[in-house]
Amino acid sequence: MDFDLYLRVTRLYADYAAALDSAEWEKWPDFFLEDCTYKIMPRENHERGYPLATLSFESRGMLRDRIYGTTETIFHDPYYPRHVVGAPRILSARDGRIEAEANYAVFRTKPGQPSTVFNVGRYLDVIRDTEQGLMFESRLCIFDSELIPNSLIYPI
């Protein structure tokens, strides 16, 4: 692995978080390949090999549907997410396929209220190097807590 690859992966993670924190929801699916996997699941299920996920999507089309539902049909108290993502750890990189992981913390701020910790865990990613740049083939958001406050509205 070379420094250029590490920098590109770091940039992918930073751009992903910036898009979500800026409420640029329409950009979210474009971080993924057309055929992709995105799951949010508790650590306990992941460590035991249980496939049950809190949210599970299997294509960029499903991600677009989620954004449409989130922005056009779901009613919820508005809040601002803020992602803090640790430095990525690249586990392997061969033939345009990168396996990486990073810790994350998502904070939530509702208007007129103090910020609170919303979700903490780690990303387990498979990233592909494409003509359009690095894109997620698979992103597992493994959260540490067994409980989620209220519901998951926005992507992690």
100-122 pLDDT, tens digit each:
999 999 999 999 999 999 999 99
Q: Rounded to 5 degrees, what are φ and ψ at 32?
A: -120, 150
Tell me the one-letter amino acid at 88: P
| Token representation of residue 46 | 């992941």
pTM, rounded to two decimals: 0.94
| Measured distance CA(143)–CA(147) in Å, rounded | 9
Evaluate whether 60 touches 29 at the Cβ level (below 8 Å).
Answer: yes
DSSP 146: S
* Three-class DSSP category at 116: strand
Beta bridge partners of 59: none
Evaluate whether 25 touches 70 at the Cβ level (below 8 Å).
Answer: yes
Q: What is the pLDDT of residues 50-71, one digit of tens each?
A: 999 999 999 999 999 999 988 8
Q: What is the pLDDT confidence band of residue 15, given thresholds at 50, 70 and 90?
A: very high
Percentage of residues of the chain with pLDDT beyond 70: 99
Evaluate whether 117 touches 89 at the Cβ level (below 8 Å).
Answer: no
Place of tokens 């499903």: 62
